Amino acid sequence: MKASAIGLTETELNVYKALLRMGISLAADVIKSAQIHRATAYDVLNRLMEKGLASYIIKNKKKYYKAAAPNRIIEIFEEKKKGLESEEKEIRESAKELEKIRLLEKNKDIAQIYSGKEGLKAVMQDIIADGTGFKVIGGELKFSDVLPIYTKHWAEAREKKGIYARILTSKAKKSNWKYNSIKHLPEEYNFPSPTIIYGNKVAIILYEEPITIVLIESRQIADTYRSHFNLLWKSLK
């Protein structure tokens, strides 16, 4: 019999077996039969009594110990089983609540700040990785001014993946490249900082030194910006 299987230590099981063999016994007899140290014997006997596996009587001013019937072990197991079932239910309920928190956190808008040329490059790489095309409102991208060599490779990657861009700018800029489609905003629409919309993200680029990019990841915000862009695009020739 494995002691841990019935919720006992090896010492507790040995003492319980000794009590079963001897019947009503003095502590000294139990110590001798179970071969345990006197210092721990009383602690073990007390634990067995707490578990309902032992009891004592006073006879002639002496304390005699007695083992409970082995059926008590089955009762302990059943109690443990019920306790585990209750704990399992609580754990499952807790897991459900934690999952709700995780989903709420997941659905929160996430804003990241990128800085410098490497930050700009990270956003450009993300546009390629997304691969769904992008829209630009206002300002100038200035990718080729800031990262001339990288922008050349970036344009090649765009062409290879067929990533189109629609650009709304107040600058008198033209592009004959088939992957760019440009419309010009009226002069009163002055957006000094370009805003790029792609996938479920919106990137706002500030070209003042150091270059700073605010990248917002939110399907709702991206769709809102996209709707504004489409409205402006349709209103322009």
Q: What's the fold here for domain 110-235?
A: Endonuclease; Chain A (3.30.870)
Q: What's the fold here for domain 3-71?
A: Arc Repressor Mutant, subunit A (1.10.10)
CA distance 126 to 139: 20
- Each residue of 111-169: pLDDT tens digit? 889 999 999 999 999 999 999 999 999 877 788 888 999 999 999 999 999 999 999 98
Specify the 3-state DSSP secondary structure of 73: helix
Cis peptide before 70 (omega within 30 of 0): no
pTM (global) more than 0.85? no
What's the confidence (pLDDT) of residue 103?
A: 64
Where exactly does CATH 3.30.870.10 map onto the chain? 110-235
Run of H or E including 215: strand 212-217
Between 46-60, 140-154, 164-178, 188-202, the lowest mean confidence (pLDDT) is in 164-178
- Each residue of 10-39: pLDDT tens digit? 888 888 888 888 888 898 888 888 888 888
What number of helices (H) and strands (E) belong to the chain? 8, 10
What's the confidence (pLDDT) of residue 108?
A: 58
Where exactly does CATH 1.10.10.10 map onto the chain? 3-71
Alpha-carbon dihedral sign for residues 137, 138, 140, 143: negative
CA distance 59 to 65: 11
Backbone dihedral angles phi then psi of residue 121, each to the nearest 5 degrees: -60, -40
Average pLDDT, the chain: 86
- Each residue of 88-97: pLDDT tens digit? 888 888 888 7
